[in-house]
Amino acid sequence: MQEFFQSSLGAKLSVSQVVREIVAFMQAAPERNYTVTIGTDSELMSSKDADFVTAVVVHRVGNGGRYFWRQGTVGKFYTLRDRIIREVMTSLDLAKELITILKNEDIPNIRWDFEIHADVGEKGETKVMIQEVVGMIRAHNFEARTKPESYAASNVADRHV
């Protein structure tokens, strides 16, 4: 995975810089509610390596948002299940890092939620994995969203795979 994130505005940012951008975005309209989401999507290449993209989205509920993404090629994958589990673990690892930094930021009186978006849903091959994936996310004390609500993974990250 790349060390730096790309912003939707074209800048390269570290994780700490992404957090500063998220906080600045929330402080610009502190009366609003926010949702910070992380989602990862992947695409299997002919070599069995997978191209992974992780997106971080800050949504100003009812009024747009910003997103950041990073990409990387990760190992060989022979089953869809292994690839989906790796997507979720990639999101969880970043979530733990982000939430630790966010909790140390000065964001008083701003209401925000934090979610992990998984690229699994009731339709298609991934439907048998929903319970397992949601359980993994909840076991790490994060709110889980699946398709069609998992826009960070299934729309934002998917756009860059």
Tens of pLDDT along the chain (161 residues) come to 678 999 978 899 999 999 999 999 999 999 999 999 999 999 988 888 899 999 999 999 999 999 999 999 888 898 999 999 999 999 999 999 999 998 888 787 899 999 999 999 999 999 999 999 999 999 999 999 999 999 999 999 999 98
**How is the beta sheet containing 49-60 ordered, strand by strand?**
12-13, 5-7, 65-76, 49-60, 33-44, 111-117, 143-145
pLDDT at 1: 66
pLDDT at 79: 92
Structure tokens at 15: 């994780």
> What does the DSSP 8-state code read for residue 155?
I
Give the distance from CA 88 to its chain's centroid.
Answer: 9
Give yes or no for a contact between 58 and 36, defined as CB atoms under 8 angstroms apart: yes
Give yes or no for a contact between 70 and 8, defined as CB atoms under 8 angstroms apart: no
Which positions ≥6 away from 27 have C-beta within 8 Å? 107, 110
Query: Within 13 A of 133's CA, how many CA atoms are on the CB side?
Result: 31
pTM of the predicted structure, to 2 decimals: 0.94
The ranges assigned to domains in the chain are: 5-160
- 12-13 and 143-145 beta bridge pairing: unpaired
pLDDT at 109: 86
- 33-44 and 111-117 beta bridge pairing: parallel
